[in-house]
Homo-oligomer: A and B are copies of this chain.
Amino acid sequence: MSGKLHVIGIGPGHPDQITPEAQEAIAVSTDLFGYGPYLDRLPPAAGQQRHASDNREELARARAALDLAASGKRVAVISGGDAGVFAMAAAVCEAVEHGPAAWRALDIAVVPGLTAMLAVAARAGAPLGHDFCALSLSDNLKPWPVIAGRLRAAAAAGFVIALYNPISRARPWQLGEAFAILREQLPPATPVIFGRAVGRAAERVTITALASADPALADMATCVIVGSPGTRVVERPGLPPLVYSPRSSGADI
């Protein structure tokens, strides 16, 4: 009997944000692959092997997982957030495309999860309530001018913008440069939300304005949401504001 490969999203970090479907798919797996800190979020299960690897080795991890599935194991590749958004499902598909023909015959299934921007948005109100985009600031695999062009296009067209991979040791200046580009196109009061480690003990959500948005508020565990010209801030006495993008966003452009 041939093996099976599940690519599973476990959400942004809170255990109650893992879907029952993902829990079940993990439970029936013989082998778990993933970035160490994601695997560490899952309770150990008897007889289940763990294969932790570094975050920068996505393609090698995908190939190792496919190889083991081809040997007949039930393999789970674990992603934080959603498996399909800037995560392991694309790496698995890429490995299949360029790998041995046998991998195309494998039973491969992707189990979706809550991606970070949804959890961050929920904390702030409804900033993704209307047309939005999700953009990775990582320039490992695409050149910076492509990223800059997408930022300009999205802001000019009135999309709310969720920024993934905003900053890292190897990527120290990109978020500041992204804010500089967006300041040329968007009003200074445009709301910016920094959502760090949402649902975990280290959670910190900061709501500020584009004019004063400080890249130092972001780290590798942060998703940043930049509003559109239609995004509103509703102040509340003694409570954090509600940030939302009205269903009519764009009617005024």
Tell me the A residues contacting B by CB distance below 8 Å.
Answer: 9, 11, 14-21, 24, 58, 82-87, 89-94, 96-97, 104-105, 108-115, 118-119, 121-123, 125-136, 141-143, 146-147, 149-150, 153-154, 156-159, 232, 234-239, 242-251, 253
Provide the bound-state CA to CA distance between A20 and B125, in Å. Answer: 20
**Residue in B closest to A91 when the chains form the complex, CB atoms:** B247
Contact status of A242 and B122, CB under 8 A, knowing A19-B11, A114-B112, A150-B250: no
Contact A104 B141 (CB under 8 A): no
Using Cβ atoms and an 8 Å threshold, which residues of chain B touch A132?
A: 133-134
Contact A242 B157 (CB under 8 A): no
Provide the bound-state CA to CA distance between A131 and B114, in Å. Answer: 17
Interface centre among A16, A133, A251 (most CB of B within 10 A): A133
One of B91, B112, B244 near A94 (C-beta < 8 A): B244
Provide the bound-state CA to CA distance between A253 and B132, in Å. Answer: 22
Contact B153 A247 (CB under 8 A): no
Contact A134 B136 (CB under 8 A): no
Contact B21 A104 (CB under 8 A): no
Using Cβ atoms and an 8 Å threshold, which residues of chain B touch A232?
A: 93-94, 97
Contact A122 B157 (CB under 8 A): no
CB distance from A249 to the nearest CB of B (A): 7
**Residue in B closest to A119 when the chains form the complex, CB atoms:** B112
One of B90, B111, B131, B244 near A129 (C-beta < 8 A): B90
One of B89, B122, B136 near A111 (C-beta < 8 A): B122
CB distance from A12 to the nearest CB of B (A): 9
Using Cβ atoms and an 8 Å threshold, which residues of chain B touch A250?
A: 142-143, 146-147, 150
